[in-house]
Structure 1
Amino acid sequence: MRLFPQIKILPTDVREYVQSRGRMRNMQGFEIRIAVYSNPPRCLLYEDRHGRQKYGGYYLRFLQHFLEVHNATFVPVYTPNDSPGHCIRALLARRVDLCGDSLAQGSDKAFVVTRAIRMAYANVMVPNAKPLSSYRYLVAPFHPTVWICLFVYIAFIVFFMSCIHWQQRRRWIFSTFLLDAIRSLLFTGFSLKHLHGRERYILFAVLFIAGFIYSTFYLGYLKSILTTEVFEKPINSFAELLESNISIMIDEYDRNLSRRYHLPDMLWPIIQVVPDETLKRHRSGFDQEYAYILFSDRMDLFDYAQKYLRHPRLRRIPINIFFLFSGFPMRESYFLRQSLSDAWAYAFESGFLKKLAVDADHDTMTANVGFKFLVTDYYEAQSLKLDYFVMPAMSLAIGYGLALFVFVIELTAWRRHRHRHNQR
């Protein structure tokens, strides 16, 4: 009764006692100290455009609704930073009664949580497939096996035409037929003037048809990827993550959680533990140089933030690694545990919790809580940059290089032929 000195003891019977037990309908303005900090989308702390302090996040906002319905007073207690670890320390020191966040109960059971009604799971968020540099677009339209087949085709057709020419003229001219074969694939003019007879027309038809098909498919694919971009191979497994040489960035709290709930052993070599501020700066900025471990609600937030982008920055590996039950953390044996658990279950059952989660995602994007809002990407005409000319410059360089290579072969063969002729 020391908690509520203004409440009087009223006589009752067994039926009324059973109905009202554990249900606090009016707390007479009793103060409930809530630890608040920014941990989107569960708990948000920000100022609106008028400079007024605002609280958001679907866990913290639910607590505000709960206390308002039960006529209790919401008393925010600010933690030193945005790490859940400071909230736990405040609970243990009895500076707060509840945390406006979702945590799993520790093995030492130093604090309790509300009755969990759903199992949280975590995935590794990895960089989405990055767009290829423009200089790689020359070979991007076709798979490596197609290029191998193409080189084999060129070598075979050049050798075949050289053999026919040797039969007709008793001379070997590989370089001329090599240029003719390449010109046919580029769908430019070629004549095969060094060949005679019906073999010339048969080979001309073969080169024309093959070059037409190849150049049409190549140019079609090249134009399409220049418009929509080509991306690297996405990471879909832990083995591919290890091969990509990308570190998983976590903070001290996540490391303790990973040890308790058995993070796969193969991932520990690439774990990088950093301060909480560093983790949030890279993760909230969608830094693609690192991977991150996120639970389902925060992954939904990242998906919400990327829905207006042409190409997502981060994506989840479809392998669940953590399975845990979480709830509102509170002081041990706190009297609101049962009432808050029931209210949380009713909110989940009615769909009210889903509405709060969607609102929290929107608030995170529009409020200044350290979560960078990604500007919507549009398909629009842009001025040409220096990168645009890299591919044409490389094509020109390859063409001149091939011409120089053929010229050197021709010059070497001519000199050797003249040297043999002089010896005779």
Structure 2
Amino acid sequence: MALLYLNTLQSASLLPSLYLYHCIDQLNELYRMELNVHLDLYNSSRNLNAIATGSVPTLWLHSLEPQSVLRGNFSEKTLTIVYLKDGKNLALIVDFLGKWSWEEQYRNVIFIYPKASSDELMALFKVCWRQGMVQILAVLPYQEKLYSFLPYPNVHLLPLEDVQQFYDRTRKELCNLQGYTINIAILSHSAPFAFIFRNRKGNVVYAGYMLRMLLDFIRHYNGSASMKYVYRIEDATAALGRRDVDFLPFLLARTENFTGSVVLWMENLFVMAPVARPLPKYMYLIKPYSMHTWLIFLTMIVYCSHAWNFLHRGRLSRSSAFLQILRYTLFLPPGTHMEKLPGARRLFVHIMFILAGFVFTNLYLALLSSMLATGLYERQLNSFDDLADTNLQLVQYAGDMKFKLAIPDLHPELAKRMVTIPEEMVDVYRRGLNTSVLHTGFEDRIDFAFYQQKFLRIPLMRKMPVAIYQQPFYIPMAYDIPYIQLFNWYVRRIFEGGLLLKIKSDCYEHGIQSGDLQFIKTRNLEVDSNSLEYYYFMCVFWAAGMLLALLLFICECLWKSVHNQS
């Protein structure tokens, strides 16, 4: 079989197949390839079959028509082999390879280019570089020469002696950016993902955990960073689509304008709602009993007043009967009408009223003391259904509102409360913990804003317990970035090593230093027993009683005057 295979190689008339066979076989072995894809546009299968290794499955492509892509359909360990006669269709072929290896531009590609000159090789490598393809090996089979290129800081030819040197280039040369400039877009309202400020010493501090990850990556691999400020999310995504910037440290939903790094976790989208606030002090006087209990109490006083007047056979006025019943109810001394011992029936009624007043008064005082000790609060929002009893609105900017309304199974109470405000004001309201409205945000941004209430005994805002949406966490980046594989590897190592947790914790302190966050001073422990609010209800109650007494006095005077005239 070996002799038969060598005879097949020697019979190839157009290509020195043995040399190509060894190159491909070494690449398959070094990179542990599981699939070889041959792009043959010149019907040279008879010659290319001779270089196909028998140990790795082979896939043949004979046209540039749209076909299935590599990602998700074939093994990631794929070697693509392209035969070029000249550079006429070079742009079309490389464009096809970019679509074929969509989001997998770092895969290995061999160009068999028999008659290529140095200029043609440079043209090939520059076109590949614009597509984000750097794992390119050009083979000149007749001269038995190998070429690749070094992309940083500028594209230039790299002659190779053997395939092993190409493999070493992948491991060493491509891991050094050599000062290559990476453009980063910074949104003006993107904390805690990215924000920039000056510290007390006047030094510029680049903060935010996404931005720190990018800058650490650039520093580690010897690159350089260039910052570009943008003010609207639409402008930032458009810049990614045009490749004006390479990265946007901000969490976005996927669109066709950009791609993303490796996914690290699923980020939850929550609703921020105000925490139930303490009730005013004057409300404590009516809260020990419910509204129904107070109505029953008033009805009982009116009924007992009439009954007490009837028991005295009209010798006691209605007002005197009312005051006596009220005195019993409040467990006060009976007054002058008990100077002599009443009869058995009246004594039984007196004892019954005294016991009822004792229970009513002491139960009220016990409940009031307990409420003063623990505090009373408004009704807590524990679910989206509880929003029906409030007039809170959910503030969104126009683009985000459209996205939120498209979320499946969005609660109707949230959908009907959405109102639009300027994009920059959404983050201002959220970081300001504005309790007059509802807010939405991914968990990282909410935790960043909540850091301000770290020392509050009673927080101002809280997360609703149910997330309304989940999104993969990644860093948005432009298409065709040549160092995407290197960046994904670096991000994974930071995440798995726990360094990302440290970077995230630092952004809270940077938020305080920058002034984006401010610790909120608690006021719940301040003693305000002598404030007007403390006596407000009692003063109002006393004034209402005096006014009612005055009205009753005037009515009695008028009634007596009319009665005397008649």
Q: 1:29 to 1:246 in 2, by over 3 A?
A: same
Q: 1:319 to 1:186 in 2, by over 3 A?
A: same
Letter of the 1:251 partner, please give it.
Answer: Y
How far apart are the structure 2 equivalents of 1:269 and 1:414?
Answer: 61
Deviations 1:110-161 (A, max 9, x none): 1001122221221221222233344433313333343344334434543443
Letter of the 1:379 partner, please give it.
Answer: L
Q: 1:22 to 1:302 in 2, by over 3 A?
A: farther
Partner of 1:71: 222
> Mapping of 1:300-315 within 5 angstroms?
300-315=447-462
Partner of 2:543: 397
Match of 1:26 among 155, 176, 181: 176
Deviations 1:41-66 (A, max 9, x none): 22222221122221111211122222
3-state SS of paired residue (2:470): strand
Q: 1:344 to 1:23 in 2, by over 3 A?
A: farther
How far apart are the structure 1 equivalents of 2:287 and 2:173?
Answer: 66
Give 5+ residue unaligned stretches, structure 1: none
Most deviating of 2-11 and 386-395: 2-11
Deviations 1:380-418 (A, max 9, x none): 3358444344222112123324534665676688789x5
TM-score (norm: length of structure 1): 0.83
Shift of the alpha carbon at 1:276?
1.8
Identical-pair percentage: 27
Partner of 1:238: 384
Alignment of 1:337 onto 2:487: no
Q: 1:57 to 1:253 in 2, by over 3 A?
A: farther
Contact 2:274–2:461 under 8 Å retained in 1: yes
Shift of the alpha carbon at 1:278?
2.5
Alignment of 1:272 onto 2:423: no
Alignment of 1:355 onto 2:502: yes
Contact 1:103–1:113 under 8 Å retained in 2: no
> Over the residues paired in the alignment, what is the CA RMSD in angstroms?
3.5
Shift of the alpha carbon at 1:18?
9.4
Shift of the alpha carbon at 1:97?
0.6
3-state SS of paired residue (1:99): coil
3-state SS of paired residue (1:117): coil
Count of residue correspondences: 412
Contact 1:135–1:394 under 8 Å retained in 2: no
Return the index of the structure with the highest Cα Rg: 2
Match of 1:177 among 304, 310, 321: 321
Contact 2:430–2:449 under 8 Å retained in 1: no
Letter of the 1:63 partner, please give it.
Answer: L
Most deviating of 36-45 and 377-386: 377-386
Partner of 1:36: 186
3-state SS of paired residue (1:98): coil
Match of 2:357 among 211, 223, 230: 211
How far apart are the structure 2 equivalents of 1:10 and 1:175?
Answer: 114
Deviations 1:60-118 (A, max 9, x none): 11222222222222222222x2x433321221232211012222212xx2100112222
Partner of 2:198: 47
Contact 2:433–2:461 under 8 Å retained in 1: yes
Deviations 1:211-267 (A, max 9, x none): 344334434544565576532212233333243122111113422431443444443
Partner of 1:102: 251
3-state SS of paired residue (2:526): coil
How far apart are the structure 2 equivalents of 1:71 and 1:179?
Answer: 91
Shift of the alpha carbon at 1:187?
4.1
Most deviating of 2-11 and 207-216: 2-11
Shift of the alpha carbon at 1:13?
5.6
Letter of the 1:90 partner, please give it.
Answer: A
Deviations 1:290-339 (A, max 9, x none): 11112111222233222312332222222321122231011012223333
How far apart are the structure 2 equivalents of 1:409 and 1:23?
Answer: 103
How far apart are the structure 1 equivalents of 2:485 and 2:307?
Answer: 87
Letter of the 1:326 partner, please give it.
Answer: F
Letter of the 1:84 partner, please give it.
Answer: I
Higher relative contact order (CA 8 A, sep 6+): 1
Partner of 1:17: 167
Q: 1:365 to 1:144 in 2, by over 3 A?
A: farther
Alignment of 1:85 onto 2:234: yes
Letter of the 1:72 partner, please give it.
Answer: G
3-state SS of paired residue (1:234): coil
Most deviating of 336-345 and 38-47: 336-345
Give 5+ residue unaligned stretches, structure 2: 1-149
Shift of the alpha carbon at 1:189?
3.1
Letter of the 2:180 partner, please give it.
Answer: F
Partner of 2:332: 188
Q: 1:132 to 1:33 in 2, by over 3 A?
A: same
How far apart are the structure 2 equivalents of 1:11 and 1:274?
Answer: 63
Contact 1:101–1:329 under 8 Å retained in 2: yes
Contact 2:455–2:519 under 8 Å retained in 1: no
Match of 2:212 among 54, 61, 75: 61
How far apart are the structure 2 equivalents of 1:350 and 1:261?
Answer: 34
Contact 1:22–1:338 under 8 Å retained in 2: no
